[in-house]
Amino acid sequence: MALEHALLVSLRERAASGSELTRRFDKSFGYFWSATHQQIYRTLARMEADGWLTSTVVPQQGKPDTKVYDVSPVGEKILAAWLTEPPATTPLRSDLAVKLRGASFADDRAGVLDMARGQRAEHEARAAAYRQMLARQFPHPEDLPDADLDRYLVLRAGVRVEEGWIGFLDEYLSTHERRAAGVRAKEA
Amino acid sequence: MALEHALLVSLRERAASGSELTRRFDKSFGYFWSATHQQIYRTLARMEADGWLTSTVVPQQGKPDTKVYDVSPVGEKILAAWLTEPPATTPLRSDLAVKLRGASFADDRAGVLDMARGQRAEHEARAAAYRQMLARQFPHPEDLPDADLDRYLVLRAGVRVEEGWIGFLDEYLSTHERRAAGVRAKEA
DNA sequence: AGCACCTATGCAACAAGTTGCAAGGGGTAG
DNA sequence: CTACCCCTTGCAACTTGTTGCATAGGTGCT
């Protein structure tokens, strides 16, 4: 629903080509709005047709020509208005939450716990990646210009979300591990 | 991608009609996997065609007949296997995160902060709803059967996710409010 | 010169999710 | 008896997101 606006934000930060935007959405921007190159190209075309963006073909050294997009005055207005509108409630869909809720229907509870450990490791890795980005991109966060402060704070949100998952998985795993230990003790 | 499996989990918990499943996905189950009635009906039809589910038409008092679905042995196997498979990485898409990252492009920073306060209130309300559900459905969580323990723990994940958002929004708002106060002090 | 690979862009088909609408049964009020 | 509302199910079209594939330019190697 908001890919257009995510593209507007990214392009306002810095004009870019479809290819460059695809890379951005695979990395930093992609941590809170992901999109495939095909979706990005199709949406850019529609936004240009609607007058939200302008584009310029730029020859490159040793590479094909590239199409650099920028936000038009119309697009600036549309983005400014969108930024203060309350967002629609984003429906949540989590495979992991569904799996853990249904874990008692697995053949093997241990297999589910192993899967949960693997997921915990992935969330840990993601949190570590965010922290590394924070340290690298914002070594001195006390005195940032407004736009950088926003990027900094939103990146910290990423860390919080990962920490939330890690805390949950820790609780889930330790509760089940304690249960399993209690069952084994009772069987002694 | 996993609506089929979410339906399998919900139906293994208790057989239900499409209408009843729609209500479940609007409420408790919907907190981590949401779906519209149309998607649910279409997916149920496909799952029955594929042999994952069985259904029985049940007359009702004062209401039209209803179609009660249950999981077939084939469906049970498919679910059991899915539960231990590592989930695909769920792409994240957050309107709110995009808005806050792009806040410096708004006409009015105060408008964005107001929107953020509204979002904070919504997350607070959602966390409170989860807590109330926890208190009501699991007054004594120390000695739950396995399946109920899973439902209890996953519900607590919901609380953690909301608390993560609240913590982030608190930081975002207080940081910008301090900045605004600092600017006003400097103008004095 | 030709081939393989990389880069940048984009078409087409399909899947997932949503919206709008509709059909038919049951019950109630006028 | 009729009209309206509720309930349950489901069709169709559209939007969003994904996958697979393709085109064309540029470079390097054989």
Q: What is the pLDDT of residues A49-77, one digit of tens each?
A: 999 999 999 998 888 899 999 999 999 99
Cα pseudo-dihedral A106, A108, A111, A113, rounded to 10 = 80
pLDDT at B53 over 80: yes
DSSP output for B69-119? EEE-HHHHHHHHHHHHSPPPPPPPB-HHHHHHHTGGGSS-HHHHHHHHHHH
Range B122-130 average pLDDT: 92
Look at B168 and A156 and tell me if their CB atoms are within 8 Å: yes
Query: Whole-model pTM above 0.95?
Result: no
Task: Place A22 in a pLDDT band, splitting at 50, 70 and 90.
Answer: very high
Taking a C-beta distance cutoff of 8 angstroms, is the pair A142, A103 a contact? Answer: no
| Mutate which: B27, B154, B179, vs A, most A CBs within 10 A | B154
The amino acid at B171: E
Question: Do the chains contact at A98 and B167, CB–CB below 8 Å?
Answer: no
Strand-pairing partners, residue B142, are none
Global ipTM: 0.91
In whole angstroms, what is the distance from residue B139 CA to residue A141 CA?
A: 44
Q: What is the DSSP letter of B14?
A: S
Residues near chain D (nucleic strand), Cβ < 7 A?
A 1, 3, 34-39, 42, 61-65; B 17-20, 22, 37-38, 41-42, 44-45, 60, 63-64, 66-67, 91, 93
When CB atoms are compared, the residue of A34, A86, A168 closest to B160 is: A168
Encode burial over A156-177: b for 16+ CB neighbours within 10 A, e otherwise: bbbbbbbbbbbbbbeebbebbe
pLDDT of B51 strictly over 70: yes
pLDDT-wise least confident of A5-9, A168-172, B35-39, B180-184: B180-184
Q: Do the Cβ atoms of B32 and A163 come within 8 Å?
A: no
Tell me what pLDDT residue B89 has.
82
